[in-house]
Amino acid sequence: MPVMTMRDALNLALKEELARDSSVFLMGEEVAEYQGAYKVTRGLLEEFGPKRVIDTPITELGFAGLGVGAAMAGLRPIIEFMTFNFSILATDQIINSAAKMRYMSGGQFKIPIVFRGPGGSAYQVSSQHSQALESWYAYFPGLKVVMPSTPADAKGLLKSAIRDDDPVIFIEQERMYGMKGEVPEDDDFTIPLGVGEVKREGTDATIIARSLMVPTALQAAEQLEKEGISCEVIDPRTIRPLDINLIIESIKKTNRAVVAEESHPFASVGAEISAEIAERAFDYLDAPVKRVSGADVPMPYAKNLEQLVIPDVAHIVAAVKEVAYV
């Protein structure tokens, strides 16, 4: 299989789906002439033209609403936010229209729309541009929330999201666009939404991680292996629907759980996973569930302070040792 960056895997998925289905189109700020703020949409305007790759004004609420209307009319829009921080301006359309329209119309409307773009911590862009919003969107019934951690997952999950008949929030970690991995060349390679994956098998503790925290957790697991602690690393890949059964089966084997995320700890996805573990696998736990989260503060601009806010390998290693009573 060819090796490519996360950015190129996403670009390939977009290219293949635009070619496969004429009802698919892409819309957002700088996606066309500028080739995408992070070059994920590079080359698509030249291949598919300005009617299917559309630059928009800086009006997130407006073009998100246009996308919802297009989905109601039978098209399959892909709405790119330059950063998911800007999606805050479009939440009325995402939450009150896209998420609820199928229910409120008694099933008369499908809303096959993808809202995608970079989210989570970036590099020194401070408080208003480094936020993890996945728990916010996962809270609302009607939305699916996807967070890939590898180039292959990015391609397979994005293709599934575009083909899905429900609205999908697809969050790409901004720091991961340059990360490389093997990606299947198959034009029909997809990964079902709602199916997690064991990224590394182990016997002593389960680390549940997503997005940027997956490679961090894998590095931590490698370090712990040298110290005689075997860690299983689970990537849910889809936050909603959540593959909780995969997580529970792992904990039944390892009897210990660490949930790693870069988002704030209060009311987070990690809090939900921890609660579900306590409800479903309490009798299998040999230690309380341990959470590793970003600091509960707005993201600072200064690089040294930014590094203190985001969990790293050392944080995860310490958490695993705590639940393993080492």
Catalytic residue numbers?
A: 60, 129
Q: Which residues contact 78 (CB under 8 A, 6 or more apart)?
A: 14, 24, 25, 26, 27, 113, 114, 116, 162
On the question of a cis peptide bond just before residue 241, with omega within 30 degrees of 0, the verdict is yes
What is the full DSSP assignment across 241-300?
Answer: TT-HHHHHHHHHHH--EEEE-SS-STT-HHHHHHHHHHHHHGGG-SS--EEE---SSPPP
Distance CA(9)–CA(40), nearest Å, equals 9
Q: Where are the alpha helices (DSSP H) in 77-187?
A: 91, 101-104, 134-138, 151-163
Distance CA(251)–CA(71), nearest Å, equals 40
In the chain, count H helices and then E strands. 12, 14
Distance CA(292)–CA(302), nearest Å, equals 22
